[in-house]
Amino acid sequence: MNTRTIIEGTTKVLVPIPPEGVSFPPSAAPVFYNPEMELNRDINVAATAAFVNRLVLILRSQRDDIVTTDVTYVDALSASGIRGIRIANELGISAVLNDWNEDSYNLIIKNIELNELPETTTASHKNANVLLHEKRFNIVDLDPFGTPAPFLDSAARSAVHLLEVTATDTAPLCGAHLNSGIRKYAAVPLNNEYHSEMGVRILLGKIARELAKHEKAMIPLLSHATRHYVRTYVQVKKGAKHADKTLKNMGFMSNCPDCGFRKPVFGLAVHIDKECPVCGTTTGIAGPLWLGQLHEVKFCDEVLLELEKRSLNTQKKAMGIITLCRDELKIPMFYDQHVICKRLGISASTIGSLISALKEHGYEASRTHFDGISFKTNAGITDIEKIMLSERSG
């Protein structure tokens, strides 16, 4: 396999050179490597660092001689090892880098040597599900091709404190490939204007239920989505009671395809109005999905500090995303301004002025990291439309 050395963060990584003339898909090379995921990996370094800072303090309250290398991390689907090698090199925690592909395994070993990592970093050549069933790790990272669904049970079992999950199957998650999504996530999405947030909440709902099987609770610390992937960081807490409390955040989203009315309905066995209370049209239902928080504000601040102090190629972009995550309202499902404007037959204003107008009318309102022309608010659709119309006439 032909390789070249790249540098991400402060880590050197040997990555495969794709066959002549092929740059995409990244799976065309014998070992997978996607340069487009640098942003995701930079955020990963900062988010994992922020969590490790917290974890070391928690563990020290139980045993005062805890050091950073006592924290264990597994990159269960490593490919070149780039994600986990960066964690080992840039954070100094103990890391296992696993891949069942032989070429990957050999490249991981070379990458460990290239960075002169201590023996607390090891390569592993197993089926990820076997490894995760055998061993517990403080932090489990799943970064698969497509869906993480086949690995969530074993990851939920293995993760003691933090579970980090990427999903690149955005079409099934968002409802564009409906049946595939139903099979993988045991949930029904709606493919409407807020489908990206739908995807994050379907994924989180699945993770919450997988953790609950193992009597573990989930606290989402950070979740971000682009057109190509969803990435989430969830804190794990042991205990049946905590798990029961987590499941109280599960529910359904009732949505009117005509007027834009939407309503979260909490619970797993629920009564949902069939008719839209605003216009009488039959509503669509998505779920079961996660209706709780996607981010923890304090954690986002800690991630921002970690991003700020590092030299990263994507630093500015990463900080922009995390700031938007931190500042977006916790209310499920954003509104797309253009969809509402089209229905009203008016032109869109700037998102900033719309948010100010909603606030002036006493509502909470924020931007959202999901989409630059969209917003979140606790105002209902009828009031949003009134405010948008009055802004035009005023």
Residues that bind Zn ion (CB under 5 A): 256, 258-259, 261, 276, 278-279, 281
Q: Which of these ranges, 1-9, 77-85, 330-338, 379-387, lies near ligand SAM under the rule CB under 6 A?
A: 77-85
Place of tokens 């204007």: 193
* 8 Å CB contact between 193 and 199: no
For the bound state, the minimum distance from the C-beta of residue 174 to Zn ion, rounded and expressed in Å, comes to 22
Q: Is-contact 73 159, C-beta < 8 A?
A: no
Binding-site partner at residue 72 among Zn ion, ligand SAM, none, CB < 5 to 8 Å by type: none
| CA neighbours closer than 13 Å in the CB half-sphere of residue 116 | 1
Name the residue nearer to Zn ion (CB basis): 18 or 284: 284
Residues numbered 238 to 267 that lie near ligand SAM (CB under 6 A) are: none
Contacting ligand SAM within 26-45 (CB under 6 A): 32-34, 37
d(CA 377, CA 380): 8
Closest distance to Zn ion from the beta carbon of 268 (Å): 25
Q: Are residues 131 and 160 in contact, defined by beta-carbon separation less than 8 angstroms?
A: no
Q: How far is the CB of 5 from Zn ion (least distance, A)?
A: 57
- Candidate ranges 73-81, 157-165, 204-212, 310-318; the one touching ligand SAM (CB under 6 A): 73-81
* Contact present, 147 and 204 (Cβ < 8 Å): no
Residue of 144, 199, 260, 292 interacting with ligand SAM (CB under 6 A): 144
**Do 90 and 116 contact (CB within 8 A), yes or no?**
no
Amino acid symbol at 219: I
Nearer to ligand SAM, 1 or 57 (CB): 1
Which lies closer to ligand SAM via its Cβ, residue 80 or residue 254?
80
Residues 304-343 that bind ligand SAM (CB under 6 A): none
**Contact between 143 and ligand SAM per CB under 6 A:** yes
363 binds, among Zn ion, ligand SAM, none (CB under 5 to 8 A by kind): none
**Are 87 and 78 contacting, i.e. CB atoms less than 8 angstroms apart?**
no
- Contact status: 82 vs ligand SAM (CB under 6 A): yes
Q: Is 158 in the site for ligand SAM (CB under 6 A)?
A: no
Count the neighbouring beta carbons within 10 Å of the beta carbon of residue 209: 22
Is there a contact between 86 and 112 (Cβ–Cβ < 8 Å)?
Answer: no
What's the CA gap between 21 and 23, in Å, rounded? 6
Gap between the Cα atoms of 121 and 114, Å rounded: 12
User: Can you tell me which of 120, 127, 191, 349 binds ligand SAM, judged by CB under 6 A?
Assistant: 127
By C-beta, is 36 or 244 nearer to ligand SAM?
36
Does 363 participate in binding ligand SAM (rule CB under 6 A)? no
Pair of tokens at residue 130: 């076997």
Taking the complex as a whole, how short is the minimal distance between the CB of residue 75 and ligand SAM, in angstroms? Answer: 6
Q: Does the protein bind ligand SAM through residue 104 (CB under 6 A)?
A: yes
Residue 26, C-beta contacts closer than 8 angstroms, at least 6 positions apart: 18, 32, 33, 34, 35, 36
The whole-angstrom distance between residue 299's C-alpha and the CA centroid of its chain comes to: 14
| Sheet with 262-266, side-by-side order of all strands | 262-266, 250-255, 284-290
Alpha-carbon gap, residue 107 to 112, rounded angstroms: 9
83 near ligand SAM, rule: CB under 6 A: yes
Give the nearer residue to Zn ion in terms of CB position, either 276 or 322: 276
Give 148 or 260: the residue with its C-beta nearer to ligand SAM.
148
How long, in residues, is the chain?
Answer: 394
**What residue 104 binds from Zn ion, ligand SAM, none (CB within 5 to 8 A, per partner kind)?**
ligand SAM
Q: Which is nearer to ligand SAM, 225 or 381 (CB)?
A: 225
Distance between CA atoms of 274 and 280, rounded to whole angstroms? Answer: 9
| Smallest distance, ligand SAM to C-beta of residue 36, A | 10
9 in contact with ligand SAM (CB under 6 A): no
Q: How far apart are CA 129 and CA 161, in angstroms?
A: 18
Q: Is 103 in the site for ligand SAM (CB under 6 A)?
A: no
C-alpha span between 167 and 232 (Å, rounded) = 9
Q: Where does this chain touch ligand SAM (CB under 6 A) — which range of 4-12, 139-147, 187-195, 307-315?
A: 139-147
- Residue ranges binding ligand SAM (CB under 6 A): 32-34, 37, 77-80, 82-83, 99-101, 104, 127-129, 143-145
